[in-house]
Amino acid sequence: MGPDAHVPRPSHLPSLEFANSVLLPGLINTHTHLELTGLEGQVSEPEFPAWITHLRQIKNTRDPADYLVAARQGLQDCYAAGVTTVADTGDSGAVIQALAEADGSGIAYQEVFGPDPAQLTESLSGLQARVEERSSWATGRVRLGVSPHAPYSVSGPLFQAVAAWAATERLPLAVHVAESPAETQFVQAGAGPFAQAWVARGFALPPSRGRTPVEWLDQHGVLTERTLCIHAVQVTSQDVDRLATSDAAVAHCPLSNHAHGHGAAPLQAFLAAGVRVGLGTDSVVSVGRLDLLAEARFAQKRAGLTAEQAVELCTLRAARALGLDDTGSLRPGKWADCTVIRVPPGEGTPSDRLLASSPDHVLLTCVAGREVYRAS
């Protein structure tokens, strides 16, 4: 790295020039659902619980081959958008296969569900079997994690059991938490549409009244340094302190939160408290196109960040949120994950101009020095 005249250029290697462009660390997406690629615009219910129900119905129409095709395409879309590492949650197992086939970089969190405490044994054993089955794909820079889905789809006993097993196995854990007002209403008061759905299915409501979703997870041993809390919108100042104390990280998905009307997560409060935060896109079903720089622009505007701070949220800070110390910046000893993005002319720093770009401006993406995308 350095001025052109000072950087050795081996004669047997190609020399590439990209005018009006920036070279930066590969972007890191801390929350995706790549197995849902191709479902853009197919779910439009305004109420979040109904939206989830409709999405689940559509997912049931896909077979394993469909999921694998979607995951492979989703990964290529990430590369074309300058993203070199993904943290993905899903239940099909397709994404970890796609990552391994591509010799890629990322964490695939295997989802588990089970709202009824009576499902504990079946859900936990099923999760363990799927993790064992898919562990052969966890090679190189591809890691396998677990994801007890959310407080409205997983019972307290199952949360506790999965967290304990993940700790024993040293598996990273991701959980959707404090995403919507409906979730908070469910956990705090045992009311609202999620509670109605549980009662309709004959499930006993959680006994933890008066607690926030983050507090509820903490009481079940879920919050640790290996935990990624996805969304974390409906949080209190005490919740922020709780996340900081436990060293749990946050995947901040501002465009998805806005699209669903969930509100804005307290990003500045997270950063001030020392919470590890990275940016995520969520799925194409929520945001239409996976554009991490658009997430950075929106986060910058909402939280009053500098352009440099916004770019860090999808590079170095994102790497730290995922517990990755070998990527996220261009330094000796780290992987050569990088992307080249053409920036528009104008005033401001390189980061200012970078945030005005989009996936359409990505010229080259490399993972571990290996070209995975080049604009035609």
pTM: 0.96
Per the CB < 8 A criterion, the answer to whether 357 and 344 are in contact is yes
Mean pLDDT of 273-302: 97
Domain range holding 44?
A: 27-334
For position 237, what pLDDT does the model report?
A: 98
Q: Residue 229: pLDDT above 80?
A: yes
Res. 10 pLDDT band, cuts 50 70 90: confident
In the three-class reduction of DSSP (H, G, I as helix; E, B as strand; rest coil), residue 49 is classed as: helix
pLDDT over threshold 80, residue 87: yes
| Average pLDDT of the residues in 346-358 | 92
What is the pairing mode between strands 27-32 and 83-90? parallel
Higher pLDDT, 329 or 347: 329
pLDDT digits (tens, 9 = 90+) for 242-275: 999 999 999 999 999 999 999 999 999 999 999 9
Q: Which of 45, 122, 132, 179 is catalytic?
A: 179
179 noted as active-site residue:
yes
In the chain, the number of structural domains is 1
Q: Does 49 reside within a domain? A: yes
Comparing 5-14, 118-127, 161-170, the range with the smallest average pLDDT is 5-14
Strands 83-90 and 105-112: parallel
Task: Give the confidence band of 347 by pLDDT, cuts at 50, 70, 90.
Answer: confident
What's the pLDDT band for 114 if we cut at 50, 70, 90?
Answer: very high
Q: Would residue 55 count as lying in a domain?
A: yes
Residue 207: pLDDT above 90?
no
Q: Does the pLDDT value for residue 58 go beyond 90?
A: yes
41 within some domain: yes
| Mean pLDDT, rounded, for 313-329 | 98
**pLDDT for 223 beyond 70:** yes
What is the mean predicted confidence (pLDDT) over 45-68?
92
Least confident stretch, 35-39, 120-124, 153-157, 343-347: 343-347
Q: Is position 10 within any domain?
A: no
In a domain, 153, yes or no: yes
Is the per-residue pLDDT at 2 higher than 90? no
Which candidate, 296, 302, 297, places its Cα nearest to that of 265?
A: 302
119-165, pLDDT tens digit by residue? 999 999 999 999 999 999 999 999 999 999 999 999 999 999 999 99
Q: Which two tokens stand for residue 306?
A: 């500098």
- Kindly tell me if the per-residue pLDDT of 208 is higher than 70: no
What would the mean pLDDT of 171-193 be, rounded to a whole number?
96
The pLDDT, as a whole number, for residue 324 is: 98
**How many Å apart are CA 342 and CA 201, to the nearest integer?**
53
Q: Please check whether residue 14 lies inside any domain of the structure.
A: no
pLDDT of 41 higher than 80: yes
* Summary mean pLDDT of the chain: 95
pLDDT band at 276 (very low <50, low <70, confident <90, very high): very high
Instruction: Judge whether 232 and 244 are in contact, CB under 8 Å.
Output: no
Asked, for residue 20, whether it belongs to a domain, the answer is: no
C-alpha span between 194 and 48 (Å, rounded): 10
| CATH number, domain with residue 257 | 3.20.20.140
- Report yes or no: 85 and 319 within 8 Å, Cβ to Cβ: yes
Q: What is the mean pLDDT of residues 335-346?
A: 95
| 65 within domain boundaries | yes
pLDDT of residue 31: 98
Per-residue pLDDT at 365 exceeds 90: yes
Q: Which pLDDT belongs to residue 188?
A: 94
